[in-house]
Chain A
Amino acid sequence: MGQQSPNTSKKQSKAQKSARMAATRERVAAQREQERKAAKRRSAIIFAASGLAVLALVAGLTAVVMSSDDEGDKPGGANNVIADVKPDPSVKSDIVGVSAYTASQGHISKPKEVTYKQSPPVGGEHDPVWQNCGIYDSPVPNRNGVHSLEHGTVWITYQSNLPADQLEVLKSKVKGKTYMMLSPYDGLDKPVVASAWGLQLKLDNASDPRLDQFIKEYKEGKQTPEPGSPCTGGVGKPTS
């Protein structure tokens, strides 16, 4: 190949140019194809994710609705929980006169209130914080007292007009002991009522020997749902 004429070189550069343009076109096309695929992928991901989101939303709403049903949009309003406590015929105490119940254990935080059908309560939903054990001269909140029952406490309650000598008898059963609580209680149908988790004994007199039996058997007894949990470090300031 001798010397190239200007004509030839012009031709050649034209061919080169078109080849270059073809390559560019191909590159652009390939790039567009890639972008198209990426867009397709993107929309597939978005589609799948939004599908899952809808599913989750439905499931989540269902869960919320179901759980609010559980906590009882029962009579008394959405903020009032009626403690789930039922007589339990499968339990037989060897102490005459003891009533037995099954009771649920849920924790209910304020401002939700808990209503108990038993007086005093024997169990059921209760406050997250327990009542400190010991002797009280004024009533303690049901919702905290029930939590102490769950930890194994025997809670002795009495009518506020109980004779002083009988009150001394009751105090002597609580003072210096663990997992024992004593407080007056309004509206009792017997002068003295001893309660443990799911168990209750109503008495006419503080000196009834069944009270000692009840304490011996049920203080930290087998019925305790949470044995070993504390009866100090909660709420309430006992007098002793």
Chain B
Amino acid sequence: MHGRRREAHLVRPRARVALIVATGLLAVPALAACSSDDSAEPAAATAPTRALGPAPAAVPNPPADDSVDAGFARDMRTHHAQAVQMAMMVRDLTQDDATRKLAYDIALTQQEQIGRMASWLQLWGLTLGSTRPVMQWMTPGSMPGHSGHGTPSAGADTQLMPGMATQAQLDKLATLHGKDAEVMFLQLMITHHEAGVAMAREGVARAQVQQVRDLANTMVVGQSSEIDLMRSMLTERGAG
């Protein structure tokens, strides 16, 4: 308290005001100069020739385009993206702290993994995009309710990966609030995680790259424990 007052006396009040005003005013032309710099930038950036398509592999013996590793990375990115989407949705639909914290955890964890898997594909010299049928890298019959090679089980929405919510389900979730939204979110996410764990187990068992097997294993462990948590949360809400 004392020191502060002494410090304040070093500059007379009126002079202090003038100083503040002058600093503020000086910032205006400085900012204007910055913004004019920005507008000049794109012209310089377009000069060199831009290469399209993936850069060459940055590691020796990278997994091939049709490998388990590449299939796992691509399909798991897609699968994760919907988990992130649903988690972000439910955070807007309820004020319940437990649900919002769980959703926060799922969204940030899976979004980080999406980025990590994109990075692998790039280092392997592969595209993130693919037109291969989903789940083609899986062993046929390894997925409960899904026969592999893109063939869905009876009644499932064609072309959707196992565990994925349909657009109609997402639309329905978007209309709910509070406990109703929490319950539907938990149900959809449990289904989503169960299929995610099955996919990840295939990655653990069959990927050639150690880092892929390691991340797949953290998915098995992490999502399994989240399934337990979500089941107990469903029970607490009388919907177990």
Contacts and interface: CB of A to CB of B under 8 A. Distances in A.
A-B complex is real: yes
A92 B168 CA distance: 41
B29 interface: yes
A154 B129 contact: yes
Contact of B32 (A52, A53, A59, A218): A59
B160 A176 contact: yes
Interface class of chain B by DSSP: helix
B46 A220 contact: no
Interface residues of B, number: 50
B22 A49 contact: yes
A149 to B, nearest CB: 14
Nearest to A69: B39
B85 A222 contact: no
Interface string A102-127: 10100000000000000000000000
A52 B49 contact: no
A240 B167 contact: yes
Nearest to B43: A102
A177 B78 contact: yes
A161 interface: no
B176 interface: no
A177 B79 CA distance: 9
B128 interface: yes
Given A55-B29, A88-B50, A222-B51, A45 B14 contact: yes
B60 interface: no
A232 B85 contact: yes
Question: A-B pairs with the 8 shortest C-beta distances?
Answer: A219-B129, A63-B32, A59-B29, A56-B25, A220-B128, A240-B167, A176-B159, A212-B131
Interface string B22-38: 10011011011001100
9 contacts: A49-B22, A59-B29, A88-B46, A102-B42, A176-B161, A212-B131, A216-B129, A216-B131, A221-B129
Interface residues of A, number: 52
Interface in A188-206: 199
Interface string A62-98: 1100110010000000000000000010111110000
A90 B48 contact: yes
A216 B167 CA distance: 24
Interface in B90-140: 114-115, 118, 127-131, 134
Contacts of A240: 157, 166-168
B39 A173 contact: no
B53 interface: yes
A216 B54 CA distance: 10
B89 to A, nearest CB: 8
Q: Which of B46, B48, B115 has the most CB of A within 10 A?
A: B46
B55 interface: yes
Contact of A55 (B25, B31, B85, B160): B25
Nearest to B18: A45
A217 B129 contact: yes
A63 B36 contact: yes
A60 interface: yes
B49 to A, nearest CB: 4
A180 B32 CA distance: 39
Contacts of B195: none
A48 interface: yes
Contacts of A55: 25, 29
A70 B46 contact: no
Contact of A222 (B29, B53, B131): B53
Contacts of A217: 52-54, 127, 129
B1 interface: no
Nearest to B15: A45
Nearest to A134: B167
A233 interface: yes
A239 B28 contact: no
Nearest to A102: B46
